[in-house]
Amino acid sequence: MRPFALSFIVLSMIGIGCAGSSSTPLLASARERTTTFYVEHHAADGRAIDQIIVQAFRSRAVQATGGPPSGAPPNVDFLVTYEDRWAWDMRTYLRMIQIDVREPGTGAIVATSQSHQDSLSSMGQTYQEIIKRTAIALFDDSP
């Protein structure tokens, strides 16, 4: 009976997926309808992650646009950058996404949100859903 119990425990531990997220949301004053955000597109990004972030921001009733780093409007309130990491485990999946909101003049980070997951915990989720959830966390009031 003991070998069975030990095998069950080991298999259960292997089957548990690892996922997590963390965020430091925007201040309430930065979430007004008149606030403008510009999401910088990575040249190597073939999945239009910047546009997914733009749509998530717009769903929170703020003004958001995106494009190349040199295309930011001169009067934008915040620049948004992102880092994405992908992995392969019988399929390609989004391993990590970090979204940073920055002051345009200094580049200082004023809000950040990150999500990471392994292959098992990302099953049943599209990368678009993971990115939207990570972006919306920047507007979350809860600690």
Cα distance between residue 131 and residue 114, in whole Å: 9
Phi-psi region of 44 (alpha: psi -120 to 50; beta: other; left: phi over 0): alpha
Work out the angle at residue 81's Cα, subtended by the Cα atoms of residues 23 and 90, and round it to the nearest 5 degrees: 80
Q: Which amino acid makes up residue 88?
A: W
Class of domain 17-139: alpha beta
Q: Where are the domains of the chain?
A: 17-139
Cα distance between residue 53 and residue 128, in whole Å: 9
Q: Which amino acid makes up residue 139?
A: F
Quick: pLDDT tens for 88-127. 888 888 889 999 999 999 999 999 999 988 777 667 788 9
What are the structure tokens assigned to 2, written together? 């003991």
Cα distance between residue 48 and residue 45, in whole Å: 6
Token pair 């392994």: residue? 118
pTM of the model: 0.81
Task: Give the count of beta carbons closer than 10 Å to the beta carbon of residue 139.
Answer: 20
Cα distance between residue 55 and residue 110, in whole Å: 20
Token pair 């809860």: residue? 142
Quick: pLDDT tens for 86-98. 888 888 888 899 9
Quick: pLDDT tens for 7-57. 444 434 444 455 566 778 888 888 888 999 999 998 888 999 999 999 999
